[in-house]
Amino acid sequence: MRPWGDENAWSSAVPTDDGNLLLARAGILLVVPEADGTVAAVHELAVAPGENVRLVAGGTPGTAALAFRTTSTGRTTVWRLSGRAETPERVADVPGEFTGGVWLDGGLLAVASSDGARTVVLNLSDGTVRPLPGLSPGEHLLLAAPQAGTLITAQKREGVLRLGSRRRDHDALTVFPGRLNAVEGTVVPLALDPSGRHLALSVTRGVRSTALLYDLVEDSTREIEPAGVLLPVAHWNAAGLHLVRSAPDLPPQPVTVPDPLTATALTGHGRTGWSPARSRSFTGPGGPVEAIVYGDLAHAGHVVLALHGGPEAAWRLTFDPLFQRLAADGIAVVAPNQRGSTGYGAAHRDAIRGAWGGADLADVIHLGRTLAAERVSGSCPPMLYGASYGAYLALLAAAAEPGLWSRAAVVAPFLSGRALYEDGPESVRRMLDRLGGQEEIVDDHLGSRDLLRLADRLRLPLLLVHGDQDPIIPVSHSRRLRERLARTGHRDTALTYLEVPGAGHDPLTDHEGHAVLEQLVAFLRVGPRP
């Protein structure tokens, strides 16, 4: 059984009505918390293992959640979870890959294909599927209030994804409220109240999120301060609005708002024993760069600049097991949302379209210099950490200014956008096409952003980690980089290469993830071992 807190990008969580928490990783966990947020018990439920197990909150009596997993044959298997420590019930095996789920009436669940091309209705009583009538082409179902017959949908209109509301009647028209679609930030619909009048949303601005309630009748909004980040799962019933909240010092925790129409803030987040973090705005070469900070940047024994994957992603003020582990070892952490990150407007996000390793690399170098200047005299220079795109960016930063960093630990890097396009899966090629990842930057200082060409500039101690079953970035990229570094002949290059058997894109949480995590933390704390 894996210990609590071993979460990653593939995890999903659903609160149960009795205050417990169902977690999906490579299987399902039932977490029973104490009143103060600590864990009383963790039960591993018997579901076939594999990545991308996803949960949908239950909408019928006796069903706390449904678990979805796509098999290697391209079918989606569905299990029913009661919310108790008992074996889940397998209820359907559906051809195709489906994600999400919206409960309708009569035990019917509307699910969308992974490519968004179609929405079908799954009948849990017999495992059959049929089309969902009444939606316009390109309109996707997001939420429903079954008894009221209210549906929340999304559709691209004039190139912008807009939220709409409609009745379930076949001839009903969808309305796209102006006030709802004018909300600033990244908006994620969470739940409809049973009457179908009020819509709960998560709105993320920068590293924080808030809960927003929208009145479909009065066309009005009000906010509930969450004191952390809301996970994109929720349930609204007669007992109130059930949310899952997290913060840097708070693992995902269910919270119930009994009367959300009058509440102004979520309560119950006390001391948990985990390290706190704060946000800080750094001055960057192209404008402010917000970052999440753990520890004392000036006096800590070490400070690491941690770069997120993506590139269309961002760090949020949520629980991160790696950062907690680093903080516990006295390593200060700065996790920036440099240009290219989401949550700061289109200009910030699009600054690296067609220019990977351009504006974002300039931000990282500037932050590294800032951290070096803030360190007390004689202390260790900043370190670098990155995963996926963050690993690529960290290695570019190490090559651009080798003397600025003391060492770097990277997980699943790729060699260049062009090389990844040649070797990566179709989903990655689509992202590269959309973001201009194949376009090259060439300048007088660094030249093209190809790590094989830049290998002779990587003169710092380096830990290179890659899962040998990575489905996103082929392990061959790390193997080729290791071979190229071995041929550079630099005596001051100390390369530690760790290829993790059986691990996927996130070897820190796959299989023997705790052992990998310990090696990474030890490398950042003391450097390479003989």
Residues 155-181: pLDDT tens digits?
A: 887 778 899 998 887 677 888 998 999
Rounded to whole angstroms, the Cα distance separating 123 from 115 reads 21
> Residue 199's beta-bridge partner residues?
192, 214
Q: Is the pLDDT of residue 320 over 90?
A: yes
Count: domains in the chain: 2
DSSP structure string for 305-337 = EEE-S-SS----SS--HHHHHHHHTTEEEEEE-
Q: Which of 132, 166, 194 is the last residue of a domain?
A: 132
Q: What is the pLDDT confidence band of residue 392, given thresholds at 50, 70 and 90?
A: very high
Instruction: Tell me, yes or no, whether 125 lies in a domain.
Output: yes
Q: Is 194 exposed, middle or buried (0-12, 13-18, 19+ CB in 10 A)?
A: middle
C-alpha distances in angstroms, 359 versus 124, 349, 371, 409? 50, 11, 18, 22
CA angle 425/431/433 to nearest 5° reads: 105
Instruction: Tell me, yes or no, whether 314 lies in a domain.
Output: yes
DSSP structure string for 439-452 = PPP--TTT-S--HH
Q: Which of 68, 103, 132 is the last residue of a domain?
A: 132
Q: Is the pLDDT of residue 58 over 90?
A: no
Kind plus residue range of the DSSP H or E element containing 204: strand 198-205
Instruction: Tell me, yes or no, whether 378 lies in a domain.
Output: yes
Q: Is the pLDDT of residue 4 over 70?
A: no
Q: Which of 116, 132, 148 is the last residue of a domain?
A: 132
User: For tokens 């590269």, what's the residue?
Assistant: 432
Q: Is the pLDDT of residue 38 over 60?
A: yes
User: For tokens 């030249």, what's the residue?
Assistant: 447
Q: Kindly state the percentage of the chain with pLDDT values over 90.
A: 50
Residues constituting the chain: 530
Instruction: Tell me, yes or no, whether 296 lies in a domain.
Output: yes
Instruction: Tell me, yes or no, whether 42 lies in a domain.
Output: yes
Instruction: Identify the domain containing residue 335 by its residue range.
Output: 278-526
Q: What is the pLDDT confidence band of residue 57, given thresholds at 50, 70 and 90?
A: confident
C-alpha dihedral sign at 397, 403, 405, 408: positive
* 119-123, strands of its sheet edge to edge: 98-103, 108-113, 119-123, 128-131
Q: What is the pLDDT confidence band of residue 122, given thresholds at 50, 70 and 90?
A: confident
CB of 261 within 8 A of CB of 14? no
Structure tokens that stand for 180 in this block: 């709802």
CB of 342 within 8 A of CB of 350? no
Q: What is the pLDDT confidence band of residue 81, given thresholds at 50, 70 and 90?
A: confident
Q: Is the pLDDT of residue 491 over 70?
A: no
Q: What is the CATH number of the domain that holds 118?
A: 2.120.10.30
CB neighbourhood size of 422 (10 A): 12
* 495-500, strands of its sheet edge to edge: 278-284, 287-294, 331-336, 302-307, 383-387, 408-411, 462-467, 495-500
Instruction: Tell me, yes or no, whether 200 lies in a domain.
Output: no
Instruction: Tell me, yes or no, whether 467 lies in a domain.
Output: yes
Q: Is the pLDDT of residue 34 over 80?
A: no
Rounded to whole angstroms, the Cα distance separating 258 from 242 reads 8
Nearest to 383 by CA among 299, 461, 458, 304: 304
Instruction: Tell me, yes or no, whether 517 lies in a domain.
Output: yes
Stronger pLDDT, 211 or 22, i.e. the higher one: 211
Q: What is the CATH number of the domain that holds 336?
A: 3.40.50.1820
Strand 150-157 relative to strand 160-167, pairing: antiparallel
Structure tokens that stand for 198 in this block: 């009020």
